[in-house]
Amino acid sequence: MNPLYKWVGSKRAYLDTIKGLMPPTHNTYHEPFFGGGSLYFDLEPRLALISDANKHSINFIKALAAAPNDLIDQLTTTVGHHNSVSKPERRRLFETARAGYNQRNAQGWTLIHLELAAAFYGLVRGAFNGMWRVNANGEFNNPFGDGKPLLFDADHFRSASKLLARTTIRNVDFGVAIGDAGEGDFVFVDPPYFETWNGYVAGGTFGVPEHYRLQRVCGDAAKRGAKVMVTVGDHPYLRSLYKGWRLVEMERNQQMSGKAEGRKKEVDIVLMGGYE
């Protein structure tokens, strides 16, 4: 199955390489940096634990698992309305929805919030480059995108909901999530790129302290018998941190730079621990 929305840093383009490097068998599937969940949706695992620090995407995913019909009904109406009006009117609807989302978010809320879930989908689909991006205050601040009709496929949502309904979905830090991986489990670890953009979460940075902590929890999971795969941008610090882990390089097309000259080839590395 395809993911439900685009997500910055998604590993969709490398699924074949990643799948070729997975262990041949495993117990529970864990994805602690879920984002748009491209590997999860492709694999459709029977038993899975997925999580992300981003409350908004997890709220959407939980709402779809718990109340698919309500979410689909709401989106059928709002997306249908959005797609029936002119481009300037779509922009106005997007900007009103963004302001409304930020206002409601500032008041505090708990998972599962159905209206925010529906609004999240419209915003992430309608925003520039389909990106969820927040400022330091946690406000969604990505501008309106290309104004094309919003994609929404109710059947895809229904299939995704059935898959999600048999999955444990959490809004937790990776330390908690990876700490639950046990012997024979497979953990797919896809953190934000080293010392670059981390606008997924307010005040987010993912530099040396986070990667150091991540390696520790991944190493502990591998020692418990879990099979751990980590995908990161190639960097000498990360290579030294994962010394002794099996390493495979994959070429990446820079997706975060808007400028043509910035679209140089970069290298990602896949690091594997706890299995051959």
What are the beta bridge partners of residue 233?
A: 268
- Piece of 47-55, 154-162, 233-241, 267-275 that binds ligand SAM (CB under 6 A): 47-55
Binding of ligand SAM by 10 (CB under 6 A): yes
The kind and range of the H/E element at 105 are helix 87-106
Distance CA 218, CA 227 (A): 9
> How far is CA 93 from each of CA 88, 126, 270, rounded to the nearest angstrom?
9, 10, 41
Burial class (CB in 10 A: 0-12, 13-18, 19+), 183: exposed
| Residue (55 or 90) nearer to ligand SAM, CB | 55
Site for ligand SAM contains 53 (CB under 6 A): yes
Of residues 115 and 173, the one with the C-beta less far from ligand SAM? 173
Report if residue 54 touches ligand SAM, rule: CB under 6 A. yes
Could you say which of 35, 126, 145, 274 contacts ligand SAM (CB under 6 A)?
35
Instruction: Rule CB under 6 A: say whether 192 interacts with ligand SAM.
Output: yes
Choose the stretch contacting ligand SAM; rule: CB under 6 A; options: 90-98, 184-192, 219-227, 248-256. Answer: 184-192
Of residues 10 and 78, the one with the C-beta less far from ligand SAM: 10
The Cα 100–Cα 245 span in angstroms is: 47
How many Cβ atoms from other residues are within 10 Å of residue 113's Cβ? Answer: 19
With beta carbons less than 8 A apart as the criterion, state whether 53 and 172 touch: yes
Q: Interface with ligand SAM by CB under 6 A: which range of 49-57, 65-73, 156-164, 215-223? A: 49-57
Residues 142-181 that bind ligand SAM (CB under 6 A): 173-174
Residue 85 or 136 with smaller CB distance to ligand SAM: 136
User: Count of CB atoms within 10 A of residue 271's CB?
Assistant: 23
Exposed / middle / buried, residue 257 (Cβ in 10 Å: 0-12, 13-18, 19+): exposed
Residues that bind ligand SAM (CB under 6 A): 7, 9-11, 32-33, 35-38, 52-54, 173-174, 190-192, 200-201, 204
